[in-house]
Amino acid sequence: MPLPRFDRLPAERRELILAVARRHFAEHGTEGASYNKIIEAAGVSKTAAYHYFDGREDLLTAVLDRVLGRLLDALGPWAPARDQADFRSRFAAGSAALATHLRDHPEDLALADAAIGRTHAGPWLAWFEALVTDGQRLGMIRTDVDHGLLVSATAAVIRAADAWALARMTAEPRPEAAGFPEDESSAQLWRLLLGLWGGAAANAAATAGEDPTDAR
């Protein structure tokens, strides 16, 4: 994390330094970006830089923490759903909002895996823990598998599905009027999760005469 002197900088100056660092890490990778080139581009002397950060990894951590915070802001907090239909609707909205944020913020997209991969606990998994707990309460998610494993697996599936959808969009650009293929992505993601979460959710949807892949 940044050293105390960095936090005492004016907010605009702090954000400029982190924005420059984020751009370099996004363009050159978390391993390939040069610390010296970052601080030079940000207009920070080497002497001053070491008053702000312990080094390159410290600066990278600060950047990735902010990326993760924006991803969580896009998802929004998970609130207990009223019923299974409300659960599906809230889940689809959160998933679409996250995918849209990543589409509109390519630097966050480039760093998302690194930001998420550094968190073995904390607020990212806490969001999915709330999701899985609520789904189990509603009978949407199995209870015969370790809770922590289900949380981690759910987070991994959603992360992979977002990467898949965005890669397709990048590889096959669509006309602006066509919009982002959220319905298709949501259906694919929901189908994957129903398999992970067990038969209860799929059986309930079938009994109600609904398409279990319709997450809207």
Q: How confident is the model at residue 183 (pLDDT cuts 50, 70, 90)?
A: low
- CA–CA separation, 184 and 214 (whole Å): 9
Q: Is residue 41 part of a domain?
A: yes
Count up the domains in the chain and report the number: 2
List the helix and strand counts (H, then E) for the chain.
11, 0
Range of the domain at 40: 4-54
* pLDDT, tens digit (0-9, with 9 covering 90-100), for 106-160: 999 899 888 987 765 688 889 999 999 999 999 999 999 999 999 999 988 887 8
Give the 3-state DSSP-derived string for 123-138, with helices as H, strands as E and coil as C: HHHHHHHHHHHHHHHC
83 and 28 within one domain: no
Q: Which residue has the higher pLDDT, 202 or 14?
A: 14
Indicate if the pLDDT at residue 200 is higher than 80: no
For residue 72, being part of any structural domain is answered with yes
Distance from C-alpha of 205 to C-alpha of 199, rounded to nearest angstrom: 10
pLDDT surpassing 70 at residue 172: no
Same domain, 177 and 83: yes
pLDDT at 190 over 90: no
Smallest Cα–Cα separation from 69: which of 119, 21, 33, 142? 119
Average pLDDT value for residue range 49-63: 93
How far is it, in rounded angstroms, from Cα 30 to Cα 164?
21
pTM given for the model = 0.79
Give the model's pLDDT for residue 180. Answer: 42
Radius of gyration of the chain (CA): 20
**Section 78-97 average pLDDT:** 91
Using the 3D structure, point to which of 17, 33, 54 is the last residue of a domain: 54
With a cut of 90, say whether residue 211 has pLDDT above it. no
Same domain, 132 and 193: yes
Position 169 confidence tier, pLDDT thresholds 50, 70, 90 = low
Residues 168 and 111 in one domain: yes
Q: What secondary structure letter does DSSP report for 57?
A: H
Task: For tokens 């509109």, name the residue.
Answer: 104
- % of residues, the chain, pLDDT over 70: 82
**Is 212 part of any domain?**
no
The answer to whether residue 214 is domain-embedded is: no
pLDDT at 69: 93
Confidence bin at 1 (pLDDT 50/70/90): confident
What's residue 120's pLDDT? 58
Residue 181's pLDDT band, with cuts at 50, 70 and 90, is very low
Q: Are residues 79 and 166 in the same domain?
A: yes
How does the average pLDDT of the chain come out, rounded?
84
pLDDT at residue 99, as a whole number: 81
3-state SS, residue 146: coil
